[in-house]
Amino acid sequence: MLLVVLAVGLVLAAVTTEHGTRLAWQAAERVLGARLAGTLDGGSLATGVRLRGFAWTSPDGTGTEIRIDRLDGRWALTRAPWRLSIAYLRAGTIDVRIPPGPSTPSTTPQDLSLPLQLRIDDLRVDRLAIHDGGSTTQLDHLALNGRSDGRHHELVLDGVDTPYGALTARAKLDGVKPFALTGEATYAGKLSDEPVDARARVSGSLEALVAEVDASGMKLNGRAHVEAAPFGAVPLTRASLAFDHVNPQALAPTTSGCCCAKSRVAS
């Protein structure tokens, strides 16, 4: 009994005090060796931490690496019901490296519910770079917030800069099959030095997704209706396009042609 009380006391000290969290971090570094590195500047696991130079390598031998130059967060875990509330979580540059490997087909998840409620008031990342094999995806100025009661999830993407333009989005997802989904997104960027704006509305579920897209730019206005089965053998099940005022020179500067109006394509 005394050993149990001592063990519980050590765990509470590691979680709730800055000194205990620092000792727990140092112990984790010794156990994991070169697979874990970083400097804990302060904070506790119970209320939030400040980290510099974080580096983690997966212990399963796949070689996946995650590096974060700085991380600062403030959160709280409460009971009745269990809820994790993140006041803010801010990171500088996150660099993720995924080694090349055999591709496996995507399968429909069985459950997307969470074991506790979750609230994220402010999450920001200056730069996220994902190196997957020979390709790199880079996102800048990522800002989002979200909440979940365990089953019903809501995510708001306040903004993110991609190599192609800026995105905002909002989505709601049911964590139980068939995973009902609703959402909307906006895009603003440039293609061939021409401004392009787009807005999309999504409905249906993860098993049968429907998207309505309106776009303007490059001397055209277009609409698209897309039906997809993201986890099916053929993800794209149907697509129809309608656009006005096509400028072939904007689409292909080396090609001459006349403007067309009210063109339609369906598949």
- The mean per-residue pLDDT over the stretch 84-96 comes to 98
- The mean per-residue pLDDT over the stretch 114-125 comes to 98
Q: What's the pLDDT score for residue 193?
A: 83
List, in sequence order, every residue forming a beta bridge with 201; answer none if it has no partner: 184, 212
Q: What's the pLDDT score for residue 9?
A: 54
Q: Is the pLDDT of residue 238 over 60?
A: yes
Phi-psi region at 141: left, alpha or beta (left = phi > 0; alpha = psi -120 to 50): left
Structure token digits, residue 48:
């939030």
Q: What is the pLDDT of residues 8-46, one digit of tens each?
A: 455 555 667 888 899 889 999 999 888 999 999 999 999
Long-range contacts, stretch 242-246, CB < 8 angstroms, 24+ apart: 244/220, 245/219, 245/220, 245/221, 246/219, 246/220
> Residues of 183-203 as b/e, b for ≥16 C-beta within 10 angstroms?
bebbbebeeeeeebebebebe
Q: Is the pLDDT of residue 255 over 90?
A: no
pLDDT band at 49 (very low <50, low <70, confident <90, very high): very high
Structure token digits, residue 69:
């130059």
Distance CA(226)–CA(266), nearest Å, equals 10
For the entire predicted model, the pTM comes to: 0.83
- Nearest partner of 157 among 134, 183, 196, 179, judged by Cα: 183
Q: What is the mean pLDDT of the chain?
A: 86
> Residues of 96-129 as b/e, b for ≥16 C-beta within 10 angstroms?
ebbeeeeeeeeeeeeeeeeeebbbbeebbbebbe
From the CB of residue 148, how many other CB atoms can be counted at a distance below 10 Å? 21
Q: What's the pLDDT score for residue 256?
A: 40
- The mean per-residue pLDDT over the stretch 178-183 comes to 96
Q: What's the pLDDT score for residue 16?
A: 74
Instruction: Count CA atoms closer than 13 A to 214's CA, side-chain side.
Output: 3
Q: What's the pLDDT score for residue 158?
A: 98
pLDDT band at 198 (very low <50, low <70, confident <90, very high): very high
Residues 44, 45, 48, CA angle at the centre, nearest 5°? 70
- The mean per-residue pLDDT over the stretch 81-92 comes to 97
pLDDT band at 243 (very low <50, low <70, confident <90, very high): confident
Q: What is the pLDDT of residues 127-180, one digit of tens each?
A: 999 998 789 999 999 999 999 999 999 999 999 999 999 999 999 999 999 999
Q: What's the pLDDT score for residue 54?
A: 97
Q: Are 165 and 189 in contact (CB under 8 A)?
A: yes
Distance CA(148)–CA(179), nearest Å, equals 14
> What φ, ψ does residue 226 adopt, rounded to 5°?
-125, 135
First to last CA, the chain: 70
